[in-house]
Structure 1
Amino acid sequence: MRRVAVFSNMYPSERHPTFGIFVKNQVELLRSKGLEVDVIVIDEPGKGKVATLKKYMTWFLRSIGYLLRNKKQVSLTHAHYAFPTGVLSLMGKKLFGIPYVVTVHGGDIDKMAAKSERIAKSTRNILQKADAVIVVGERLKRDVIDRFGVKEENVHVMSMGVNTDVFKPMPKEEARKELTIPSGEKLLLFVGNMIEAKGVLDLVDAFKKVQHAHPEAALHLIGSSKDVGFMEKLAKRLLSNDVRISHQEPLQQKEVAKWIAAADVFVLPSHHEGFGLVALEAMAVGTTVVGTDVGGLSFLLGNEAGILVEPKNPDSLAAGLNLALEEPSDTRQKIAEEKVAEHTYDVIAQRLTAIYDDVSKGKNSK
């Protein structure tokens, strides 16, 4: 049996059940296919520079200790996020000859690598030395090839996949009854971190315009409110717009799926997005998705699988939301179902294990 070590600076815990949940889901998927997978991860978001530094140093030492003890048993390592996580896999290859795969999720390229030339150089080295690079979206493929000099044949476009056992169609009225949502309400739903980069303020501005056309419309937000400064800014924006919007902290995935089923429209107004997995999950449930024409969303919602709008443009967002409410489309839903079929867990497991096989056989070794 192959043994894989997964490194990630995001992984859920009992206290933080949604922190990097997509990584845990993939680990459990691999284990269900018979792979032996060890995880060496950070499962605590943490706060403050001192706490963060201590957390990362402890993780790095724990990871190096793991590699020392298991260097002869591990077939390969898989790093989620190029930097800083990929540093561990790169060290494993340099010190012990262990090949590695790295998954680029977006923020590691769009934000982290832009922080300094040193980080950009390290990111480039990690990606170029990897035996395989997985990117979660088509735009990221061009980025790692054009900006970071990775050979095209070494880059694989593959999402984290959607769990269709959890995110599946459910009768809307049944979902609304369980959540005590009025049947006549036009529910717009957002799920994601409560930060400016997710377009939450744009959504508040757009929602005011939607309510003029649809007084029965309601907006519900589900997401972490750890950014106190942003939440204060959001509260002021709500007051100035005179709109009532409900919010709750992150939920377990089964509960999120229920909220998506209850919604008339799912909205993801991100300023940048590597893939937009939550949008795919909404498509799997059968709810119309309105998203910004950025990153992976451009490809995911293209060809009328959803409704694309301009980023950072509340007017365009409001028009897209009104279109979704006023003109439901069977054709759009059919195209969305076809997109979902390309990203099921069975498809992703087959593709990922094939990459692992190639790497462990040395087909992409450098």
Structure 2
Amino acid sequence: MRVLIVTNMWPSPERPALGSFVRDQLEALRELDDPDLELECYAFPPGGYAAAARGMLSDYRGRRFDVVHAHFGLTAWPSLAVSAEVHGLTLHGTDIHHRRSRLITRAAFPFIDLLAAASPELAKQVPGYPRREVEILPCGVATDRFVPLDRERCRAELSLDARERYLLFPADPDRPGKRFDRAGAVAGNCNAKLLTLGNVDPGEVPKWINAADAVIVPSDNEGFGLAVLEAMACQIPVVATPTGIHEAAIGGIAGSYCLPFDVQRWSEKLELIFEQPEMRTQSRERANSFSAERMAIRLLDTWRMHLNTPLDSAAADNEEKSTQAPWD
């Protein structure tokens, strides 16, 4: 199976966090060590759609892939420059929530054979759903990288006060939909210092998560909810709004909470966490159910289904690892 991944989200020196989840999925696919899978990737900067189309026309002229799979709605258009039996597209949120992007993305749907969304909630917002079939294909969390670490050591390495209250806002404060204003209000109400990730190198993010007493995600909308899963893989308490996969991920995990944003109610939940220094949640097993490896297997199985390709022995081995998704 010859597959080309096309994405406008990919880490760069200027924006090291951009699209790290797409890179993690690509690595997870390669680590499946499936002899039938030949995987390539074409990454380009956000906004460079015309140049990307020209580049792919030149680079892949005369070649035909079994699958060309694009990440992010607008990326579908340049990906169509490459010949394939199946053209796939995974929607991630902004491509549906932003009015102009939604219109351009929707116009590409007639040319897409495999349409997917990063979460069931996002799938329901896709124009034409449920008449239009939408697969659920998130990238998943890199549970090999996001692991519990010693909080005291993490704080020392990040030059943070060992005795301070810290809350982590796991996003760039300049992204309006992530609602940094809400995070600041809650941190102030709890007399806690607020940490942010912004342009932190992805390799350092596990330290910042483990250094925090809790991770807070007060977003208006999430296409998926990766930050919550990363915290859960590190067994750090989470308070998050019910969007994306937050409810499915957090539900039933003691010490973590999924509820509509309200400064007072969120502060009360966080005080419960602060009252238990060094608190760790029993959430890693749940995070593993959303792992990059499991989601890569799900994606590979979906490609095979659309190609009507019989499972070979390696694929059968992977199928044994694949369990029912948490949202199924």
Q: Which amino acid aligns with 1:339?
A: R
Alignment pair present for 1:79 and 2:70: yes
2:95 counterpart residue number: 108
Q: Which of 235, 259, 268 is 1:286 aligned to? A: 235
Native 8 Å contact 1:199 1:271 kept in 2: yes
Name the CA distance, whole Å, in 2 between partners of 1:252 and 1:38. Answer: 24
The 4+ residue runs of structure 1 with deviation greater than 6 A are none
Structural mapping, 1:103-182, within 5 Å: 103-111=90-98, 114-115=99-100, 118-119=103-104, 121-126=106-111, 129-130=112-113, 132-144=114-126, 147=129, 149-151=131-133, 155-182=134-161
Cα distance, 1:198–1:117 mapped onto 2, change above 3 Å: closer
Tell me how far 1:16 sits from its aligned partner. 2.5
Alignment pair present for 1:349 and 2:296: yes
Q: Which amino acid aligns with 2:301?
A: A
Q: Which amino acid aligns with 1:57?
A: A
Identity %: 29
Native 8 Å contact 1:269 1:317 kept in 2: no
Structural mapping, 1:140-289, within 5 Å: 140-144=122-126, 147=129, 149-151=131-133, 155-194=134-173, 195-211=175-191, 217-223=192-198, 250-289=199-238
Q: Which of 75, 81, 99 is 2:86 aligned to? A: 99
SS in 2 for 1:119: helix
SS in 1 for 2:126: helix
SS in 1 for 2:62: helix
Name the CA distance, whole Å, in 1 between partners of 2:253 and 2:13. Answer: 38
Tell me how far 1:14 sits from its aligned partner. 3.1
- Measured against aligned partners, the alpha-carbon deviations of 1:175-219 in whole angstroms (never above 9, x if no partner) come to 2222232222121111212222111011112222111xxxxx221
Cα distance, 1:254–1:10 mapped onto 2, change above 3 Å: closer
Native 8 Å contact 1:186 1:218 kept in 2: yes
Name the CA distance, whole Å, in 2 between partners of 1:295 and 1:207. Answer: 23
Q: Normalised by the size of structure 1, how large is the TM-score?
A: 0.75
Q: Which amino acid aligns with 2:166?
A: L
Cα distance, 1:137–1:121 mapped onto 2, change above 3 Å: closer
Q: Which amino acid aligns with 2:41?
A: V
2:307 counterpart residue number: 360
Cα distance, 1:121–1:75 mapped onto 2, change above 3 Å: closer
1:5 counterpart residue number: 4
SS in 2 for 1:38: strand
Tell me how far 1:288 sits from its aligned partner. 0.5
Native 8 Å contact 2:95 2:102 kept in 1: no
Native 8 Å contact 1:189 1:219 kept in 2: yes
> Would you say how many aligned residue pairs link Structure 1 and Structure 2?
305
Tell me how far 1:84 sits from its aligned partner. 1.0
140-149 or 158-167: bigger deviation: 140-149
- Measured against aligned partners, the alpha-carbon deviations of 1:118-148 in whole angstroms (never above 9, x if no partner) come to 426415435xx32x33322121232337547
Q: Which amino acid aligns with 1:296?
A: I
Q: Which amino acid aligns with 2:258?
A: L
1:303 counterpart residue number: 252
SS in 1 for 2:182: helix
Stretches of structure 1 lacking an aligned partner (at least 5 in a row): 46-51, 212-216, 224-249
Q: Which amino acid aligns with 1:15?
A: E
Q: Which amino acid aligns with 2:155?
A: R
Cα distance, 1:57–1:12 mapped onto 2, change above 3 Å: same
SS in 2 for 1:75: strand
